[in-house]
Chains A and B, each alone.
Chain A
Amino acid sequence: MSVEQLVSRYREILEDSPLNQAAEWKANHPGSKVVGCYPVYTPVEIIHAAGMLPIGIVGGGNRLEIAHADSRFQSFVCSIVKSTLELGLIGNINFLDGIVFHSICDPARNLASVFKRNFPKMQVEYIHFPQNMTSPHTAAYLAAEYQKLKASYEHLAGRAITDEDLGKSIRLYNEQRKLLRELYRIRRETPHNLSTLETYVLTRIGTLIPPEEHIAVLKEATAAASQRNEKPKDRIRVVLEGSFCEQPPLELVEGLEAAGCYILDDDFLLGWRFFEQDIPSNGDPILNLARAYISQSAYSGVKHDTREPKSKHLIDKVRETGASAVVILAAKFCEPALFDYALYRRALEKEGIPHLYLEFEEKMWIFDKARTEVETFVESMLFD
């Protein structure tokens, strides 16, 4: 299939009913189990190694009406927390056998408890990711955390997880991430040949289908994208930052580029592309996963690494990709992203890198304002 065909096929699923995709998969695989993974990052290898399917529960998109969850979470809480709860309250994620939350922010942490109380039949897991990246004792802590998780998933799956199972899953997800890096490379080097919307759809679908299938899709897509030879448009080149958790609507992703920029890199669905290198598949697999988190994972607003300022990573990304500006696209009420912005802004101004600050909500329907802001920004860059 061509890139257009693949993207149009998966875009339809994503816009229509992404979770039905996973629910149908489960219905077609009697005896199988599905575990939902809340953003940002989950060591999906452990779930997969138990013979279960880990899928991304990344909010409810802009076609879900929040009718119940807004009486549980206040107006100043971000959309993804409420839409995820809404999905539960209206029975849309009844097919999940488990769901896992993480210590990414205060509302997500409380959401894990609210899930436990409201959905007693669902196994609710919670991972406390370490925030001390300098201690030599952190790896042992995280490995112990993953061991507990492993035991819990063994229980849910009703079978043991061997090191061999884990090794296989690590290799599989390594391959998936490698292909995602390749997809991102093509977009970065030839953004006229692969749009951000296409990159996004091809990445996002991977959070809903088995990794083996996604690998096949990515192989086809990267091969087809490499054959493309489109004419570059007169657009500015930017790096997009701030959307590592809640995801903007597809129309917004599409609109940003159409307004006059090529996005060379972004942090959409960051946890599913979390590692720049493969995780070693020999040795103690749990320890390898833990070590990878500490020393190989992507920077983000939910990981506080005192070894290097976050803003340095952003500046490096701008320099390495050859972008000339940054678009900060932060989810409304996302405290980690909003706080990061203050530091990013300071660093970008110091480095003389222009930036545009935008906020979005996954449930938004109207994109004119964002589009106009991007257009104005692009014009100011092009005709300055």
Chain B
Amino acid sequence: MAKTAESVKTSYQGQIHLLQKELMGNYFNQLTRCAEQGEGKAAYMLISGNPVELMLAFDLIPVYPEINALQLAVKKVALPFILKAEEIGYSMDNCAYVKADIGMFLGDRKTPFATIPLPSLILCNYVGCNVYLQWFEHLAEYCDGTLYNLDIPFMRDPSGRPSPEDVTYVVRQLEEIIEICERITGKKLDYAKLKRIVALSGETGELWAKIKALTKHTPSPFDCYFDSVTMMAPLYCLRGTEGGLRFFEAALKEMEEKVQMGMGPLPEERFRFVIEGPPPWPYLRTFRDMFAKWGAVAVASTYSTVGGLWEFGFKHDSNHPLESIASHMLEWNLTNRNFLQRYEQIRRYCEEWSADALVIHSVKSCRLFSAGQGDMREYFTKELGIPTLLVESDIEDPRYFSEAQMKNRIDAFFESLEHKKLMRGASAAGGNT
């Protein structure tokens, strides 16, 4: 059996990594200016399928508590906030994204990346996740922002599509939000501006879809989990802006060049896997290195579709801005789709992206993602015969990451995959198996 290097340290060297840092830095500075100098008004939203286009049309500054929470985890400062929330009554078993954010929110809202402004609008885009409803309900109790529950019917029909009534219901609610935004900002909606923003989102989504299709190449030009998260930040925070669009133009160019040169994120691509579930933010690098060590590259991930699914043909349509925003929120994001639609999405990834295996990262905090992943494993191993590994930790709470155990599980899995590969190779070469 080929020996693998004990530790392959990975880092992302591309131009887009630097560009991302700069753009996100600007975004966070905007939040700080809003919080500290009163520049502009903030609208809180959730990531999964959101109407950011509408907020931008009113020059409202989008703030995403999920991004706050994940940044706190990445910067390894989340735990004191989590503990603070637990002290005032939040449970050990509640989503730690919420706890970290609320712990931070109830203080001076200063973080290593930005000072988070108080919200003028607390827009709960209820897209799949029920915890969203409680998160924003709680934030609304702790401040004076206007709370609006934008109710997005879940994809429950056997067709997997929204009904005409679902679409109408969402569009009507978006119209109500326009009225609220007009009240908050004192401005009338500039419809032409909204159309321009939606057009930018359309182009951005299209570029993102092209980028994601590139990982069908062998070797894959980037890791569709660990590197996708680099691109997801501008996709969510800057979608609908010129800057966001430029970023994705640069990213596509860079990735296409990598394909041309046959370059991947690791020195050698030995395994291609699909990964399901959000990353362990507090230990992202450690987790990544556990796969890099085996030459394992994620060629597709469900997590990279939480905020929107552009890779299967959806594009925002500036001729029908509200309907198109509704369609994105209802149908074209992972979180509002049912669990079996996710099975189907993963199955397609395994087949069309030529993956060797599926890795499920089950996180305690996010039950929308994780509840029932044992059944998913059952389906992929028993029904489809795809080697599947299920590991557990958390997206936010560092107390749930057991490094040694995680490493053992991942090592054992790839060892066995490698063994199978060797046996297959021997068998194909006419050897005895």
Contact = CB atoms under 8 A, between A and B. Distances in A.
B88 A109 contact: no
Contacts of B375: 72-73, 114, 117-118
Q: Which of B130, B153, B343, B368 has the most CB of A within 10 A?
A: B130
Q: Which of B138, B147, B339 has the most CB of A within 10 A?
A: B339
Given A74-B371, A106-B131, A338-B93, A128 B379 contact: no
Interface string A93-104: 000000000011
A342 B374 CA distance: 30
Secondary structure of the A contact surface, majority rule: helix
B156 A114 contact: no
Given A103-B130, A144-B165, A335-B367, A130 B151 contact: yes
Given A112-B338, A113-B339, A338-B94, A74 B149 contact: no
Given A114-B375, A137-B173, A332 B93 contact: yes
Contacts of A322: none
A118 B154 CA distance: 21
A114 B372 contact: yes
Contacts of A380: none
A116 B372 CA distance: 13
A258 interface: no
B75 interface: no
B116 interface: no
A128 to B, nearest CB: 5
B90 A74 contact: no
For chain A, give the interface size range: 35 or more
B340 interface: yes
Contact of A336 (B130, B163, B339, B370): B130
Given A338-B91, A342-B138, A81 B371 contact: yes
A110 B339 contact: yes
Interface in A129-144: 130-135, 137-138, 140-141, 144
Interface residues of B, number: 54
Contact of B163 (A107, A138, A144): A144
Q: Which of B366, B367, B368 has the most CB of A within 10 A?
A: B367
B204 to A, nearest CB: 28
Interface string A70-110: 11111011000100000000000000000000011111011
A304 B367 CA distance: 19
Contacts of A341: 89, 91
B371 A73 contact: yes
A364 interface: no
B134 A304 contact: yes
B89 A346 contact: yes
Given A309-B141, A342-B90, A107 B153 contact: no
B176 interface: yes
Interface in B359-400: 362, 364, 366-368, 370-375, 378-379, 392
A25 interface: no
B374 to A, nearest CB: 4
Contact of B133 (A76, A304, A309, A343): A304
A344 to B, nearest CB: 8
A113 B371 CA distance: 11
Contacts of A365: none
A367 interface: no
Nearest to B94: A338
A335 B93 contact: yes
Contacts of A353: none
Contacts of B134: 304, 335-336, 339-340
Contacts of B93: 76, 332-333, 335, 338
A141 B133 contact: no
A121 interface: no
A111 interface: yes
Interface string B87-117: 0111101110010000000000000000000
B224 interface: no
B278 to A, nearest CB: 13
B78 interface: no
30 contacts: A70-B374, A73-B371, A73-B375, A81-B371, A103-B130, A104-B130, A107-B367, A112-B338, A113-B339, A114-B372, A117-B379, A126-B154, A126-B156, A130-B151, A131-B133, A131-B151, A132-B173, A135-B173, A137-B173, A138-B151, A138-B169, A140-B165, A144-B165, A145-B165, A148-B163, A306-B140, A335-B94, A339-B98, A343-B137, A345-B89
Closest 10 CB pairs of A and B: A113-B339, A144-B165, A107-B371, A132-B151, A342-B89, A141-B169, A338-B91, A110-B372, A72-B374, A106-B368
Given A113-B340, A132-B149, A339-B94, 5 more contacts: A113-B372, A117-B375, A128-B156, A145-B153, A342-B89
